[in-house]
Structure 1
Amino acid sequence: MAESTTKNESIALYRYLCQNIVGTEEHVKTVRMLNTIRDNLSYDQETATITSGSRGEGIEMKGSDLDIMRTIRYIEVCENTDIRFKHEKTYFIMETEDTKPGFTQLRLVYTNHGTPVNIFEQCEEIGDECYFSNFKFKRKFTGCVWSTVHGPCLNDESGQYDIAYYLRCKSWITQAKHWIRRPNNSWPEDDVKQAIIKHGILFVPIGDKGSIKEDLEWRISFSVAEKFLIYTFTHTQLLCYALMKIILKDVINKKEFLSEENIRENSPDLLCSYFLKTIVFWVSEELPPSIWKTSTIEVNIDLADINKMAESATVNESLALYGYICQNIVGTEEHVKYFRMMNSMRDNLTCDQCWTTITSGSFGEGLDLKDSVVDIMSIMNCFEVVEELNIIFKPNMTYFTMATEATKTGYPQFYKRNQYSVAITILQYSLLKCSPDKLCLGSRLTSSKED
């Protein structure tokens, strides 16, 4: 009985989503076809257009944004130079050694004066090399229509439309090759993977926030691959994805738990839709395709279900937060280890007989955060503090003992002990004042009353 009721509710929810929110399967196909036609009609020698965002995925819901991606066709990015350069194009090579995961610098390796723009005007020279500036690249496209730069995108005055100019690499990069070999439950199918690999990847004009080379870094994007994957969804999968986006917007990110309205308006969203999309992709890989049926969109939620959802959401949010912090704030474990090693090397190189240097603060802990300051501690090697006097004193050191009886916790007083260098100085001064007759054995150093 309960199973039958759940099935009926799922079918009712499926129909409601089709009729009132997302649209039928045929409607979604029509929207995607119109997007493809518009993209093809706006194709020219310099740019290729790709409609992205919710509308690009075929989901036309209330508040759905229209994002336009334009790929620059006369510029190509490559992972290595083992390709034949075309004289009408400009080529950049990826350099990821000094960037966080998900970002790269682009070094110019080939250009021709036949390209539509002077590429050197958009580059920064470092030594003998030229690196593509994402800041100069975006500034080139600002004008009357696209007047505002917002992250990697350009906005119109109304803020309703976003456009972003991308670069493309036609081959699949090494960092993402594990996705090709990763086992899954027959989703996505091999022909879909091959289509994604054939298209390559994109590069977004935005760097790692807070990086010293932020304007010279580009974010690696798999937007087209994600669009391919969304297109392979069954209509039930697509409705589940749309339903999660609705819950995110109208429940999770509404922040009703914050009491003051001005705090709700100014506080950032708890989650972004990209996290949900990633979760749906993972679930689709883990579960067999047969599970996505009309009768599986369940709305029968009791307390136990809520607890399970909360636990699952907590795990997913934690993983998403972990990934975000590694990529955008702290860095990976390897990055932190490298940073600490550099601190140790610098400290060792600045040590001498008089001083020992220790890099401290957030910087010294390996946290290269925005606005982090470099705290340097210098320890005097000629002084030493001891708690007990049962040690062997070195003649070239000054020692202090701790006295904590008359002080607060954490604040000792120091008393000098065995100041050999000071004693030697006093002896030298005293000897200089001695005349030869004062050094004779038995001689009187002061006059007596008998004299």
Structure 2
Amino acid sequence: MFHTPDYYHSISKRLSEVLDDIGVNENIVMKRRRAALLTETMDTITYRANGEQLTVYNLGSLSEGTTTLGLKSDLDILGCVDNSIVIQDWSEWTPGKPIYLMIQNEKTPPGYCLLQVLRPGAPLPVTVETGNDFVNDTQGRILMKNTVIKITMLGRQRQGPSAASPAQPGFRALDLVVAYPCKSWPQSARAWLHQQEVNTWPTAEMKRYAKSTKCFVVGVGSRASENAAFQWRISTSLAERCLMFNLNITQIKCYILMKMILKTYINVENLDHESYISSFMCKTVLFHCIASNPSCVWKECNILNCLNYCLFTLNNCLLNEHCPHFIDHENNLMAGKFSTEVKQQLLERLSTLIPFDGISLFGIQIDKLGERLQIKLNMINEVHHDIPLPDECTMDVTSSLLHNIAKTVLNIEKIGDGSLETLLQKVIQLKRYYRAGDMLEKTACRLLVPPLCTSIGSLIASQNIQINNTVSPQAITWIAAGLDSDVASSRLKLASIMYCVGNAERAALILSHIEEQYEIEVTAPICCCYNVMFYLKRGFARLSSQYGVEALKYIVAFCVKFFTWEINCVPHELQYEMFRSTQEDLLHRGEDDDWMDCAVVDSLPYLYFLQYKTNSLLQRPDEQQQALTKLGWVIRTERNLGHRETALNLLGQCMEQENRPADALQCYMSSLHLRERNNAARFHICRCLANTNS
């Protein structure tokens, strides 16, 4: 390490406090990690329940807890295709799965490999394979191109091995990588497992755990290679995540500061707007620095010195164009990464930061870090600066995590036809996972099962209503099992069923209970049918920071979704939504738009709509008008509605029933303005005009 000037300790302490304030503390780091592990478990279980052999891993800064709100880190997801396997040698061959032999030779760059296609029924190579995704090499082997992994998700572009969804206002950028699992660790990475560390980091225990993790191959070749289309990158991302999970808070803070410096001073105005020095390089540099220095160095009072050493090491890597991967040392992360011109440009920018005296931190605007540090050092007056308080940062982070978990819960119903057989099969699968799973899997199942139970009960009730206009005890039992999924949606389904069988008194009681529980300033409507901008409510943020995932029951309201099989549980006004699409509209759908075949409505508007209808049956005109007023009010004022156009369609039909055709048409036109295609408002306009002219 460098000689430490006296003022370094003072700045380091204040800098560490600033990072604490913006959410880089042990509490928030652990919350981020737990949320990431829970959502990846829920996603994996959801895929498995839908019959897909895919394991999901949340990787990168968000899962490690090595980010801040201002860094706006990408969401990195790796989907492991479990029904395929990559082997190192013939002794690992097993029958039944698509299987590939990893080939590494003098022509494959370190960290990369070729994949030879083998027969699934015998330990023999495939000799004939047709299609653009395969090639015959000079030795007669059938190799698989990395283009075989096709990611065609709507709105995402392929970037290397991933499908990329760019950041949009209110939404993170997403990188989705599809990978094949290796049966054992690649030979090139095994040396690291047995290497003796001088400073006991990583520890033997960390390496033992790392050895138990999977390795993957992802479909991208080396930039420095002429045969990039045939190459696959070897990934030890789970072992790297293990290392990140074992960093202390000073090391995490150092890494975050490196990323902030990179974003502010290094990766700006580069040619092609490319980030030539990646955050993964910074992470690798940090690993090397930790491994080569005693653990006693990494203290918060020494953070500036640690940062200086990391930047100096990064500069040396750049100077030599050599940044060895921490696990596979032969893999140079900077090989072919940039031209001589770009290298010189980067070196010039780094040279202004080394030695790092801390002054450059004042210029970092991310999370207002520079201003915060100057306030801590009494250099400027806090009164004149709009700086969020630490508690506000905590609430922003935790509310974002809870919102993401809530959306992940809804994914369980996104895939599938909504038939009774499909839903029951999902519940059976989740029951198996719960019985055999660890605490994380049990928590995931507890969150995923209730919405399915409600849908099963509603579907059975729909069948009952069709046969004899009653609801069986079996249907009620299933619905009851799902009532605590959230504040409102499951109970609204029950109220809807009671209304449809003419039991208005019971429906009114259920609706009254929902309204009591639904705190407007706290409860957050959550929808995952499509990307909906989420506006944070301070009440929601406050409670999400105090409680864990159990808060879903009390401060989240999912949208209410009826599959076509549940049509008899749906008032006729909402049934139109199941038939919203003309033949022309179908051409304007994306592959994630299956929800458009359902009747979907936000909880609060549906609550007031059902109150309007039940009070009409009960001949309570005052309460009916109050419900109508509230329905119009919530459409105007609730910013988080995912299906505002549907709420407007319901309001329009209420207006027609009030004999206010002009107001009804205004509602339908407003609805059509929000969603031009695949909108039942078109039918309502035609009907309303026909009735007006008749």
Q: TM-score, normalised by structure 1?
A: 0.61
* 2:286 matches 1:280: yes
Distance 1:327 1:167, change over 3 A: farther
Distance in 2 (alpha carbons) for counterparts of 1:282 and 1:222: 16
Residue 134 (structure 2) aligns with: 124
CA-to-aligned-CA distance 1:341-365 (integer Å, 9 cap, x gap): xxxxxxxxxxxxxxxxxxxxxxxxx
Asked if 1:136 is matched to 2:148, the reply is yes
Q: Is the 8 A contact 1:123 1:130 kept in 2?
A: no
1:133 corresponds to which letter in structure 2?
A: K
- The verdict on how the C-alpha distance between 1:150 and 1:249 changes in structure 2, with shifts beyond 3 A counting, is same
The answer to whether 1:178 aligns with 2:191 is yes
Aligned mates of 2:40, 2:214 — CA distance in 1: 18
Letter aligned with residue 30 of structure 2: K
CA distance in 2, matches of 1:300, 1:83: 44
- C-alpha separation between the residues in 1 aligned to 2:222 and 2:338? 9
Report the Cα distance in structure 2 between the residues aligned to 1:232 and 1:174, rounded to whole angstroms: 25
What secondary structure does 2:83 align onto? strand
Q: Deviations over 1:281-312 (max 9, x none)?
A: 011111122221121113799xxx7xx88764
* CA spacing shift, 1:320–1:232, aligned 2, 3 Å: farther
Q: CA deviation at 1:14?
A: 0.9
Distance 1:133 1:282 in 2: 33
Distance 1:180 1:171 in 2: 13
Check 1:154–1:241 CA distance in 2 against 1; reply closer, same or farther (3 A cut): same
Distance 1:238 1:120, change over 3 A: farther
Q: Which whole-Å deviations, capped at 9, do the CAs of 1:355-380 have from their partners, x for residues lacking one?
A: xxxxxxxxxxxxxxxxxxxxxxxxxx
The question of 1:37 aligning with 2:38 is answered yes
Tell me which of 78, 86, 101 is aligned to 1:69: 78
- Secondary structure of 1:42's aligned partner: helix
State the 1:111 CA deviation: 2.1
Q: Secondary structure at the match of 2:67?
A: coil
| Post-superposition offset of 1:143 | 3.3
Contact (CA 8 Å) 2:298, 2:306: kept in 1 or not? no
1:102 alignment counterpart: 111
Q: CA deviation at 1:25?
A: 0.4
Which amino acid in structure 1 is aligned with residue 102 of structure 2?
A: M
Kindly report which structure 2 residues correspond to 1:241-252, keeping only aligned pairs within 5 A, or say none.
241-252=255-266
Q: Quote the RMSD (CA, aligned, Å).
A: 3.1
CA apart distance, 1:157: 6.2
Contact map agreement 2:109 2:222 (CA 8 A) in 1: yes
Shift of 1:216: 1.7
State the partner residue of 2:179: 166
Greater fraction helix: 2
Pairs within 5 Å for 1:197-236: 197-209=211-223, 211-236=225-250
8 Å contact from structure 1 (residues 122, 132) kept in 2: no
Tell me the equivalent position of 1:12: 14
DSSP 3-state at the match of 1:82: helix
CA deviations 1:361-408 (Å, max 9, x no partner) are xxxxxxxxxxxxxxxxxxxxxxxxxxxxxxxxxxxxxxxxxxxxxxxx
Which of 271, 278, 285 is residue 277 of structure 2 equivalent to? 271
1:56 aligns with 2:58: no
Structure 1 residues 290 and 136 mapped into 2: Cα distance closer, same or farther (>3 Å)? same
- TM-fit CA distance, 1:108: 1.6
Unmatched segments (≥5 aa) in structure 2: 123-128, 324-331, 340-694
SS in 2 for 1:50: strand
The CA distance in 2 between the partners of 1:221 and 1:210, in whole Å, is 18
Equivalent residue of 2:89, what SS? Answer: coil
Q: CA deviation at 1:324?
A: 4.7
2:285/2:314 contact within 8 Å kept: no
CA apart distance, 1:29: 0.5
| C-alpha spacing 1:70/1:312, structure 2 compared with 1 (3 Å) | closer
Match for residue 153 of structure 1 among 162, 172, 197: 162
| Aligned counterparts, 1:203-352, within 5 A | 203-209=217-223, 211-255=225-269, 264=270, 266-298=272-304, 312-321=313-322, 323-324=332-333, 326=335
Using the alignment, how far apart are the partners of 1:102 and 1:84 within structure 2? 22
Kept in 2: contact 1:123–1:136 (CA 8 A): yes
CA distance in 1 between counterparts of 2:299 and 2:310 reads 20
- Describe the shift of the 1:248–1:38 C-alpha distance in structure 2 as closer, same or farther (beyond 3 A): same
| Cα offsets for 1:197-247 (capped at 9, x unmatched) | 111321110113374532221011222221111110001110111111111
Q: Distance in 1 between matches of 2:310 and 2:225?
A: 37
Report the TM-score when normalising by structure 2.
0.41
- The answer on 1:46 being equivalent to 2:53 is yes
Mapped to 2, the partners of 1:235 and 1:285 lie a distance apart of 16
Deviation at 1:11, TM superposition (A): 1.8
Q: Deviations over 1:328-349 (max 9, x none)?
A: 799xxxxxxxxxxxxxxxxxxx
Contact 1:171 1:199 in 2 (8 A): no
> 1:35, CA displacement in angstroms?
0.5
**1:236 & 1:120 partners in 2: Cα distance?**
54
Q: How many Å apart are 1:54 and its aligned residue? A: 1.4
Q: Assess if the C-alpha contact under 8 Å between 2:321 and 2:335 holds in 1.
A: no
- With 67-76 and 189-198 compared, the bigger mean Cα shift is at 189-198
One-letter amino acid of the counterpart of residue 124, structure 1: F
Kept in 1: contact 2:184–2:215 (CA 8 A): yes
Distance 1:228 1:172 in 2: 15
| 1:158–1:280 CA distance, 2 compared to 1 (3 A) | closer
For structure 1, the residue ranges without an aligned partner over 5 or more in a row are 114-118, 256-263, 331-451
- Kindly provide the amino acid, as one letter, of the partner of residue 291 in structure 1: V
Higher mean C-alpha deviation, range 214-223 or range 126-135 = 126-135
CA contact (8 A) 1:54 1:64 kept: yes
1:191 is matched with: 205
The answer to whether the 8 Å contact 1:208/1:328 transfers is no
Q: Which structure has more strand as a fraction of its residues?
A: 1
Distance 1:169 1:175 in 2: 13
Distance 1:236 1:275 in 2: 18
In structure 1, distance between residues paired with 2:186 and 2:65 = 28
Tell me which amino acid in the other structure corresponds to 1:169: C
Q: Out of 60, 68, 93, which is 2:101 matched to? A: 93
Partner Cα separation in structure 1 for residue 215 and residue 306 of structure 2: 41
Q: Which has the larger radius of gyration?
A: 1
- Distance in 2 between the 1:176 and 1:186 partners? 19
Give SS of 2:263's match: helix
Distance between the aligned counterparts of 2:263 and 2:167, measured in 1?
21
Task: Spell out, residue by residue over 1:108-160, the C-alpha distance to the aligned partner (whole angstroms, 9 max, x if none).
Answer: 223269xxxxx9768414275432221122x2x313254x1111110236572
Q: Distance in 2 between matches of 1:60 and 1:325?
A: 24
Task: State the alpha-carbon separation in 1 of the partners of residues 66 and 310 from structure 2.
Answer: 25
Give the match's secondary structure for 1:316.
Answer: helix
